[in-house]
Amino acid sequence: MVMPTVLTDRFAPLDYPDFANNHVFLKKATKHGFYDHHDHHDRHDHHGQYGQHGVPAPGPSAKELIGDAFRDRVENIDHEYCDPGEEDTFFVADLGEVYRQHLRWKLNLPRVKPFYAVKCNGDPKLLEMLAALGTGFDCASKTEIETILRMGVDPSRIIYAQPCKTNSYVRYVANQGVRQMTFDNPDELRKIARLFPDAELYLRILTDDSSSLCRLSLKFGASLDSTDGLLALARELGLNVVGVSFHVGSGASDPQAFLKAVQDAHWVFQQAATHGYSLKTLDVGGGFCSDRTFEEMAGVLRNALDEYFPAHSGINLIAEPGRYYASAAFTLACNIIARRTIENVPGRGANNTSYMLYVNDGLYGNFSSIMFDHQHPVAKILRAGGRTLYDMPAANATAGNNGTEYSIWGPTCDGIDRITESIRFHTELDVGDWLYFEDMGAYTKCSATTFNGFSNEHEVVYVCSEPGARALLGWH
């Protein structure tokens, strides 16, 4: 078996038939948050991945690996005597999920190079995985750019996709060799002409993002009525416009938004030619979700690109996915720190006792996605009554009016700090029990605060359900 080595800056195809099985790989649990699980069955050879005759041996699934990490972390906590911090909320991150999402991207959008949106989740191991996969990076600030450059990523793999840039940041990227950046107004063009005239510029155009979770068109994007004047000004200032960019909004739900945006971008490409520009790159932005809608969205975009920017045109295609890579890779565990009984609620019949559960994370922490990203995290039971229920039927909420009703609240003193208004479980939950929430990798930890003195730094336990990802990271 050939093990992949460090990737170059090229976006080379990743075809690893030897790594198709979900072989278990978790780095050992230490203060650094790694966890290692070894399967000592006789089916393994000395590499621990293959059985007799070189046939891949079936390994634990991603869910099993995550479950092992959860059990190792929570089952030995004595809530009566543990030290402060042992009960804190924490993540389990499966880097194998990031790897699978990358292969899924290449299958559906083979011509489009992803530039990961760092603002979505700046977790260091996530970024390391993406760098090893050869992606670029969409950065919106000096700190994000510094983070990526410190990883040894070439400046050519960074786009400063922020139409409104701080003067000193523009000088900084000029010194660091990060040349690609966006603009959408005359003042920004004059700023760039003064501070970084050699920049490679993308004209960001306005799109219809009315179907998106988070709309950006109110803040960014040049209308098609203004693009001709902007291109004329850029030419007058001697600036190098190399492409067009757009963003249909974070969490887009209407595939046709991509079609219309590609059509508009094609029109601006033609417009730029009348000003003497030969544009070479189209940036189709973000808006991609990791759920089942991705294939439909990607199909519409792919067909639009093939029609308006076919392969023989020589136009480079890039994108800025964020949640697509990060969301499903992170699962969050929270401890129930307090419970309040609500009895005799009018109109609820004879068995009308419900409970308010207070957990050690909330809207001011990793559940900031509820406010800022319009998400609806769903609680599941990780551990209750001395039993770990991860990925079992008993972990899930009940349907209708079955079971006991709970509301779930964060730990701060603010009344808006509510995670779940109403949810029902057959299992009775109490102080010391644990809940978990899946799909918590996008716009969660990145916008957590320290309100009320609660930490915004939480442990991440890393697992890896794909040997291909293991090889890329050099984990043995």
Catalytic positions, please? 413
Side-chain-side CA neighbours of residue 102 (13 Å): 29
Are 39 and 131 spatial neighbours (Cβ–Cβ below 8 Å)? no
Q: Residue 101 to residues 250, 289, 443, 457: CA-CA distances in angstroms?
A: 18, 11, 18, 26
Are 121 and 440 spatial neighbours (Cβ–Cβ below 8 Å)? no
How is residue 134 written in tokens? 């050869």
Tell me the C-alpha distance between 439 and 330, whole Å. 6
CA triple 47-48-54, angle to 5 deg: 75
What spatial distance separates the first Cα and last Cα of the chain, rounded to whole Å? 14
What are the residue ranges of helices labelled H in 109-225?
A: 124-133, 142-150, 167-176, 186-195
Tell me the C-alpha distance between 287 and 213, whole Å. 9
DSSP per residue over 444-472, as a string?
SGGG---GGG--S---EEEEE--HHHHHH
Question: Across the strands, what pairs with 358?
Answer: 338, 409
Question: Across the strands, what pairs with 241?
Answer: 201
- Name every residue whose Cβ is closer than 8 Å to that of residue 182 and which is 6 or more positions away in sequence: 159, 160, 161, 162, 163, 201, 202, 203, 204, 245, 283
